[in-house]
A and B are shown apart, each in its own frame.
Chain A
Amino acid sequence: MASTIISSSPVTNSDRSKRRKKKKAAAAQQSKRAEGSSSHARWRTESQQQIYSSKLIQALSQVQLNPSSPSAPRRGRAVREAADRALAVSARGRSRWSRAILTSRIKLKFRKQQRRHQIKQQQRIVSADGGISRARKPRVSVLRLRGKSLPAVQRKVRLLGRLIPGCQKEPLPVILEEATDYIAALEMQVRAMTALAELLSGSNQAAGSSS
């Protein structure tokens, strides 16, 4: 049963944990019921939140907390990325930002490999450690845009485009559409995570008090 569900999973996420999670098949059934509503209203449905919560939990349980990253920020980032990926999976690839989130991981891995190669190459050429910084693609911070273009609306559109993953160079109507969906999805994510955190912390307290 598990194998069949694995094979039928349409998720292209490279994360093995996601593939092993067969919730996709089950979630598909439920999400179909919510399919009729508009995109951003979909995120408000309870069914969607359930789906997301379950996915989130699976993802969180998969996050390797203990061995890899002892530092809190990295752990937090890992959790956050897992949460974002779960959200993107719940979006079922219908929106640009969800696809961008899912593919970014692959790109990151690819870039890591590239970086390693480049580092090796550059270490041969240049003894300094500038290879790493050179290899990394410079990320223009959001704030730098303020000095660039004069028309305020254009500037803000670019800014918004950078905020939403995968919409960096899209025109305004596309960005607005993506923003609608993304805001709705983010709201749901926040709701789910607060509830989960509350629950776990509550249980923490209880367990802590009991033990």
Chain B
Amino acid sequence: MESEFFLNAGMNPVPPLPLHFNPTSSNSPPMPAWRSLPHSSSAMDMSNANYEQPPPDCFFGNPNWDRSTDHHTGGLQYESALSSMVSSPTASNSNIPTESFMIRELIGKLGNIGGHGSNNPGEISPHLAAASSYGGSASNSCYSTPLSSPPKLSLPRMDQFVKTMGLNSSVAEFSADPGFAERAARFSCFGSRSFNGRTVQMSGGGGGGGGLNAPPAMNGSLGGGKLPRVSSSPSLKALGSQKGNKGSPPPRQDGGELGNSSASPEESSLSEQRIPNAAGDGSAKAAAAAANEPNPRKRKAAPKGKAKESAAARPNASTAKEVETNENPTAKRSKGNGNNESKSPAKAVEEDAEAAGNSCGGEEKHSNESKPPEPMKDYIHVRARRGQATDSHSLAERVRREKISERMKLLQDLVPGCNKVTGKALMLDEIINYVQSLQRQVEFLSMKLSSVNTTRLDFSIDPLSSKDMYQRNNSGMAHPMFPVDSSASAILGHHHQHQNHHGNGSNSSSSSISAAAQNLTLHCPLDPFALPHDQFQSFCDDDLQSIVQMGFSGNGPDTDYNSGSSPNHQPSSSHMKVEI
């Protein structure tokens, strides 16, 4: 019946949609006489073809209709446009580009008309009427309406409209139809150019206003001049922007984004998967996942398993493994002709998330290898270099290889003689040899020390162990010796002399050794006590004396202790003073 109406009313392409949209008839504002049209199905009798008399349902509560004259003119224009649009394309269902083109035009016009709500509340077409009626008021109707309602309305309107036009699927279905994505992809090249301008305009507005749910990155990308794949998406966005940017509803955007997704059914289904993710997470990651932006010019064959990989990887908890798998999808897929030079870290994030499915071998890549710091992400983003494969596996491999080569370089500096050697195997050989040689050296030295110890250090042990309390003092004193400068002279002066002697004595052994050890590096003279040599000797026990003398004599070449403390050693010795 509707089609009949349509055919009959050649000039009246207004579909009998008001049937679905049926506001309360009780709402009866002062309407013009035409309102008396019975709104039964027969009211759809468009044979009257009076566009002045649109289905009354639509105009309930719409004071705008008082200005019927204006409506007429506007409506005329609109009608003519619509009719031309309708009549021009062939009614073939299979002619997908044209039908989508029609839709595009219609939506565009709807958007335009909706934008000029004050002038043309779109009463002519039920779509616009419905849209405007929601608003209620004259001028701000379109803008005051919540964003969701007009598009929702318009979509079913368009759905019917499209159906009457003989199209296959509805616009509402378009967004969810994987086949549509395919068709749209095919079509995208057809109309992408014409859309570019519009996209930039509208999506800028849409992106700016509708960024409530989506992260700014997505909006930026939306408005960043990215070429959307699907024709309907910019128009949808336009609708959204025109109808008042209350914050594009996620489903709307997702619908658009779905349309934006690549041609492959897998990816569209994948992006559908992502939408629940987006709804659930609300994170930039998920939203970025939904915001797939393949390059229409570079559009390509279905990404196959990568999309699935990324989908599989994404829901994973942030683990180290995920780092690896997520590194793959984070390969940057450069948008062909350099129209994506506007990179921001956030954008890189989203692109990285989405890039999994978009990788195509042989596509141009950005030459910058930078890894943008992503505080909110937990995985490393890698950009694929120009001319390199963007396979997820190869990306992970590349990251791993780079890590390894980085560390090999460090090792090269450490291990002597590695400069000439190239290649992992030879380098590893060198490293192994070096480590083995070092360990052997340590063993040899330990043997040597043990032999030396038997003769020397044993002496120090007995007096130390015998005087346990002094031993504690020893350790307390000896430990901070190096880092902390404790002046032995001060300590010596403060403590009781006898105790001092003992402390000194017991300290002297360890201190001498430790001081000697320090001597190894600092080459500081051993002048711990600032005591004249003969006095010191009187302090020491017999068994200690030898050690002390040993310590002193060991440092003989460095300083001359027999002459007592040399003034020039004082400042440096402060570090070595024993703490009692």
Contact = CB atoms under 8 A, between A and B. Distances in A.
Interface of A: 1-2, 5, 20-27, 29-30, 40, 46-47, 49-51, 53-54, 56-58, 60-61, 63, 65-66, 72-73, 75-80, 83-84, 152-153, 156-157, 159-160, 163-164, 172-173, 176-177, 179-180, 182-184, 186-187, 189-190, 192-204, 206-207, 210-211
Contacts of B436: 163
B435 A61 contact: no
Contacts of B445: 83, 190, 193-194, 197
A66 B519 CA distance: 27
Contacts, number: 233
Contact of B454 (A65, A194, A207): A65
8 contacts: A61-B513, A65-B453, A75-B454, A79-B447, A186-B442, A196-B517, A197-B445, A207-B549
Interface residues of B, number: 70
Give 10 nearest A-B pairs by CB, closest first: A23-B479, A195-B520, A80-B446, A76-B447, A203-B550, A30-B483, A176-B407, A26-B480, A53-B517, A193-B445
A176 B411 contact: yes
B455 interface: yes
Interface stretch (B101-109, B157-165, B269-277, B421-429): B421-429
Contact of B425 (A29, A152, A173, A176): A152
Contacts of A210: 549, 553
Nearest to A82: B446
A83 to B, nearest CB: 6
B443 A163 contact: no
A176 B461 CA distance: 41
Nearest to A209: B553
Contact of B521 (A49, A75, A201): A49
Given A173-B404, A176-B411, A183-B415, A79 B446 contact: yes
B510 interface: yes
Given A22-B476, A30-B483, A160-B428, A193 B521 contact: no
Contacts of A46: 521-522
A186 B479 contact: no
Contacts of A56: 517
Interface string B459-475: 01100100000011101
A63 B482 CA distance: 22
B520 A53 contact: yes
A60 B445 CA distance: 13
Q: Which of B457, B547, B550 is most buried by chain A, counting CB atoms within 10 A of its CB?
A: B550
A176 B480 contact: no
B411 A183 contact: yes
B168 interface: no
Contact of B475 (A22, A182, A199): A22
A197 B400 CA distance: 43
Contacts of B551: 203
Q: Which of B411, B446, B457 is most buried by chain A, counting CB atoms within 10 A of its CB?
A: B446
Contacts of A1: 476
B453 A195 contact: no
Given A47-B483, A57-B517, A61-B510, A204 B452 contact: yes
B428 A23 contact: no
Contact of B517 (A157, A164, A189, A195): A195
A176 B408 contact: yes
B438 interface: yes
A79 B449 contact: yes
B460 A61 contact: yes
Given A65-B450, A200-B453, 14 more contacts: A23-B475, A46-B521, A49-B521, A50-B517, A57-B513, A57-B517, A79-B449, A153-B425, A163-B436, A173-B403, A186-B442, A190-B445, A196-B517, A200-B457
A27 B517 contact: no
A113 to B, nearest CB: 26
A78 B441 CA distance: 15
Interface in B518-571: 518-522, 546-547, 549-551, 553-554, 556
B414 A203 contact: no
Given A50-B483, A206-B556, A199 B522 contact: no
Contact of A66 (B458, B471, B476): B458
B479 A21 contact: yes
A76 B443 contact: yes
Q: Which of A5, A30, A153, A173 is most buried by chain B, counting CB atoms within 10 A of its CB?
A: A173
B449 A200 contact: yes
B166 to A, nearest CB: 62
Given A29-B484, A50-B521, A193 B476 contact: no
